[in-house]
Amino acid sequence: MGEISVTERTGNVSRRAVLGGSAAICATPAFAAQTGNRQSVETRMTMTPTTLKVNGKDVRMTLDPRTTLLDALREHLHLTGTKKGCDHGQCGACTVIVEGRRINSCLTLALMHDGDEITTIEGLGSADKMHPMQQAFVTHDGYQCGYCTPGQICSAVAVLDEIEAGIPSHVTEDLNKVAYSDAEVRERMSGNICRCAAYPNIIAAIRDVAEGDKA
């Protein structure tokens, strides 16, 4: 009792002092609430209602404004087909289609898409009624571990829509000549990483669907 450590005598910060200070900081919110200062995270950050049109259905939710679209889909709607990979917009595993355009759902807030039409892998097809792109991935073995596959398929569906709409890419010169070339498809799909390296099979699946659409 009352003993002063060597580090305290020399003016340096001791381990005991650090732990004591940490405890005081952790206790501050509770102490503040008891003294009437109720500016807690819950009161400062107002929960906000929003409506998303997910896979053809209106879904009403009340969310923390900081909730990403990815977490809204996975944690609140339990649509776990959309994967959380890097959570930094670098791998493409979380790709979904919003208003006809593919986006990384980990990089956008759910509240930013109030009223938007959102399609996830669950909305493209089911096991008994697969989307043509899903069937092509099965036919051409366009997956191995399968973790990136939902994002790959959503991106691939949007890629063909982009080409059909005449939206150019970095390698497009004459859209009618190179739109469905391997180089073109690879460029457009470059944001979706497959760590199993099933890229040739993914390209084959996309070209199969593209050729079927053209026929």
CATH of the domain at 82: 3.10.20.30
Verify that 146 and 99 share a domain, yes or no: no
Q: Is residue 1 part of a domain?
A: no
Cβ distance 52 to 110 under 8 Å?
A: yes
Tens digit of each residue's pLDDT (9 = 90 or more) over 103-146: 999 999 999 999 999 999 999 999 899 999 999 999 999 999 99
Asked if residue 94 is part of any domain, the answer here is yes
Higher pLDDT, 16 or 186: 186
The total number of structural domains in the chain stands at 3
CATH number at residue 141: 1.10.150.120
What is the per-residue pLDDT for 164?
A: 87
Most confident listed range (9-23, 80-94, 172-186): 80-94
Give the pLDDT of residue 9.
Answer: 40
Answer yes or no: are the C-beta atoms of 163 and 175 closer than 8 Å: yes
On the question of pLDDT at 39 being above 70, the answer is no
Selected residue with higher pLDDT from 97 and 15: 97
Q: Are residues 188 and 102 in the same domain?
A: no
Strands 48-54 and 117-119 come out as: parallel
**Rounded average pLDDT over 11-31:** 50
Q: How confident is the model at residue 214 (pLDDT cuts 50, 70, 90)?
A: low
pLDDT given for residue 40 in this prediction: 53
Residue type present at position 206 = I
Q: Do 66 and 107 share a domain, yes or no?
A: yes
Whether 206 shows a pLDDT value over 80: the answer reads: yes
Contact 124, 133 (CB under 8 A): yes
Tell me what percent of the chain is helix, strand and coil, each rounded to the nearest 5: 45, 15, 40
Fill in the DSSP letter of residue 139.
Answer: H
> Tokens in use for 59?
């879904």
Residues 64, 135: one domain?
no
Segment 28-54 shows an average pLDDT of 66
What is the per-residue pLDDT for 4? 40
Domain that holds residue 191: 125-215
Q: Are residues 96 and 177 in the same domain?
A: no
Average pLDDT in the chain? 83
Say whether both 35 and 59 belong to one domain.
no
Q: Is residue 105 part of a domain?
A: yes
